[in-house]
Structure 1
């Protein structure tokens, strides 16, 4: 029997009101993946009145979302979209570039797609 691996790895670094969020997604994301991840992010952000977030999203092992997980992702984006300064989406699939462009509709900051991890991290540091 083969195990289907899916979910998020999360890293959160805070300097004053600025957050650096690192997410790595694996497999096809589910509603349960968001139930596990969302409270971690919510807890970190709740300690700051006006957080500013720069995020690195590694989607190189992402296969997609179940419908309920896509809805969870949209809700999270709508709730915290004004707190994001930059999101770098690092991927290796053509549809991910389109996803980063759609992400710009839901956040106040800027979303960009990169197929090179170093370029993505350099852009976030600017």
Structure 2
């Protein structure tokens, strides 16, 4: 029997009104993955006036989404899109780069793709 790992792991750090969010996506994401992660993000942001979130999203092991999970991802972006200052995406896949361009239409902050984590954090902190 082969194990198939998938899901999202999240880290949130708050300094004053600035949030640093790290997210790692692994495998093919499901609706259940978003049912777990969405309340965590909602809870971290609740009650903060005008949060400015800087996020690092590691998609290097992401294989895609189930259809319902893709819709969940879109809804999450619409719900919190104005709360992001910058989003750095780690990946090496062209389809993720195209997807991040489409996501930028619905997000207030800047989105940029990186192949290197060090460069991503440097950009986030500029």
Q: Give me the TM-score of the superposition, normalised by structure 2.
A: 0.97
- SS of the equivalent of 1:48 reads coil
Range that drifts further, 20-29 or 42-51: 42-51
Gaps of 5+ in 1: none
- What's 1:110 paired with? 110
Q: CA deviation at 1:115?
A: 1.1
Deviation track 1:51-88 (CA, whole Å, cap 9, x = no partner) reads 11010000000000000000000000001101111000
CA distance in 1, matches of 2:52, 2:35: 23
Within 5 Å, give how 1:73-92 maps onto structure 2: 73-92=73-92
Q: Which residue of 1 aligns with 2:19?
A: 19
Secondary structure in structure 1 of the residue aligned to 2:75: helix
Any residues of structure 2 matched to 1:34-49 within 5 Å, and which?
A: 34-49=34-49
Equivalent-residue separation in structure 1 for 2:117 and 2:103 (angstroms): 19
Structure 2 Cα separation of the partners of residues 47 and 7 of structure 1:
27
CA distance in 2, matches of 1:3, 1:31: 19
Per the alignment, in what secondary structure is the counterpart of residue 92 of structure 2?
A: coil
Unaligned runs of 5+ in 2: none
Point out 4+ residue stretches in structure 1 off by more than 4 angstroms.
none
What secondary structure does 2:42 align onto?
helix
TM-score when normalising by structure 1: 0.97
| Number of equivalences | 126
